[in-house]
Structure 1
Amino acid sequence: MNRRQCVRAISDTESESDQETMKCLSCLEDYRSRDAGTCKECYDEANETEEELKREIEDLKAKVAFLRFWSPLDHLHSRSNAPCFTDIVLIATGDGPEGYSVPLPAHKAVLVSRSPVFKAMLENEMEESRSGTIKISDVSFDALRTFVNYLYTAEACLDEQMAYELLVLAEKYEVKHLKAHCEKFLISKLNWDNSILNYTFSHRHNGKHMIDAALAVIIENMDKLTKREEYMELVETDPRLVVEIFEAYMSKQVNTAASKDSCVE
Structure 2
Amino acid sequence: MRRHRCHQAIRSESDTGSETEAETMKCISCKEEYGSRDAGTCKECYEEASETEEELKREIEDLKAKLAFLRFGSPLDHAHRGSSTSAPFFPDVVLVPSDDGSPGFPPVPVPANKAVLVNRSPVFKAMLENEMEESRSGTIKVSDVSYDALRAFVNYLYTAEACLDEQMACDLLVLAEKYQVKHLKGYCEKFLVSKLNWDNSIMSYAFGHQYNAKLVLDAALSLIIDNMYRLTKREEYIELLEKDPKLVVEIYEAFLSKQVNTAAPKDCSMKS
TM (norm. structure 1) is 0.84
The secondary structure found in structure 1 opposite 2:96 is strand
Q: Hey, which bits of structure 1, 4+ residues long, moved more than 6 A?
A: 259-262
The aligned amino acid for 2:158 is Y
Counterpart among 219, 225, 229 of residue 219 in structure 1: 225
Task: Report % sequence identity.
Answer: 71
Equivalence for 1:65: 68
Counterpart among 193, 198, 212 of residue 192 in structure 1: 198
Asked whether the equivalents of residues 90 and 103 of structure 1 are also in contact (C-alpha less than 8 Å), the reply is: yes
The secondary structure found in structure 1 opposite 2:152 is helix
Equivalence for 1:119: 125
The aligned amino acid for 1:31 is E
Asked whether the equivalents of residues 92 and 100 of structure 1 are also in contact (C-alpha less than 8 Å), the reply is: no
Number of aligned residue pairs:
248
The aligned amino acid for 1:62 is A
Equivalence for 2:152: 146
Structure 1 residues 145-200: Cα deviation after superposition (integer angstroms, max 9, x where no partner)? 11111111111111111111110000000111111111111111111110000000
The secondary structure found in structure 1 opposite 2:99 is coil
Matched, 1:201 2:207: yes
Question: Quick check: 94-103 or 243-252, which moved more?
Answer: 94-103
The secondary structure found in structure 2 opposite 1:69 is coil
Name the structure with the higher helix share.
1
Counterpart among 163, 167, 171 of residue 161 in structure 1: 167
In structure 2, do the counterparts of structure 1 residues 259 and 52 end up closer, same or farther at CA, with 3 Å as the change threshold?
Answer: farther
Question: Quick check: 107-116 or 243-252, which moved more?
Answer: 243-252
Aligned 1:95-134 pairs, distance under 5 A = 95=100, 96-97=102-103, 100-134=106-140
Equivalence for 2:50: 47
Q: CA deviation at 1:239?
A: 2.4
Matched, 1:177 2:183: yes
Counterpart among 9, 30, 33 of residue 31 in structure 1: 33
The aligned amino acid for 1:89 is V
Could you tell me how far apart the structure 1 residues matched to 2:20 and 2:264 are? 59
In structure 2, do the counterparts of structure 1 residues 32 and 208 end up closer, same or farther at CA, with 3 Å as the change threshold?
Answer: same
Asked whether the equivalents of residues 79 and 86 of structure 2 are also in contact (C-alpha less than 8 Å), the reply is: no
Runs of 5+ consecutive residues of structure 1 not aligned to the other structure? 1-11
Could you tell me how far apart the structure 2 residues matched to 1:186 and 1:50 are? 34
Could you tell me how far apart the structure 2 residues matched to 1:34 and 1:259 are? 54
The aligned amino acid for 1:189 is K
The secondary structure found in structure 2 opposite 1:92 is strand
The aligned amino acid for 2:33 is Y
The aligned amino acid for 2:246 is R
Asked whether the equivalents of residues 91 and 100 of structure 1 are also in contact (C-alpha less than 8 Å), the reply is: no
Counterpart among 66, 77, 96 of residue 91 in structure 1: 96
In structure 2, do the counterparts of structure 1 residues 181 and 253 end up closer, same or farther at CA, with 3 Å as the change threshold?
Answer: same
In structure 2, do the counterparts of structure 1 residues 44 and 257 end up closer, same or farther at CA, with 3 Å as the change threshold?
Answer: farther
Equivalence for 2:11: none
The secondary structure found in structure 2 opposite 1:93 is strand
Structure 1 residues 20-57: Cα deviation after superposition (integer angstroms, max 9, x where no partner)? 563x3224x23135365333332222111111111111
Higher-Rg structure is 1
Structure 1 residues 75-100: Cα deviation after superposition (integer angstroms, max 9, x where no partner)? 43254465411111110023445794
Asked whether the equivalents of residues 88 and 106 of structure 1 are also in contact (C-alpha less than 8 Å), the reply is: yes
In structure 2, do the counterparts of structure 1 residues 185 and 33 end up closer, same or farther at CA, with 3 Å as the change threshold?
Answer: same
Q: CA deviation at 1:244?
A: 2.0
Equivalence for 1:7: none
Asked whether the equivalents of residues 240 and 248 of structure 2 are also in contact (C-alpha less than 8 Å), the reply is: yes
Asked whether the equivalents of residues 170 and 176 of structure 1 are also in contact (C-alpha less than 8 Å), the reply is: yes
Equivalence for 1:3: none
Please tell me the root mean square deviation across aligned C-alpha atoms, in Å: 2.5
Q: CA deviation at 1:131?
A: 0.5
Q: CA deviation at 1:256?
A: 3.5
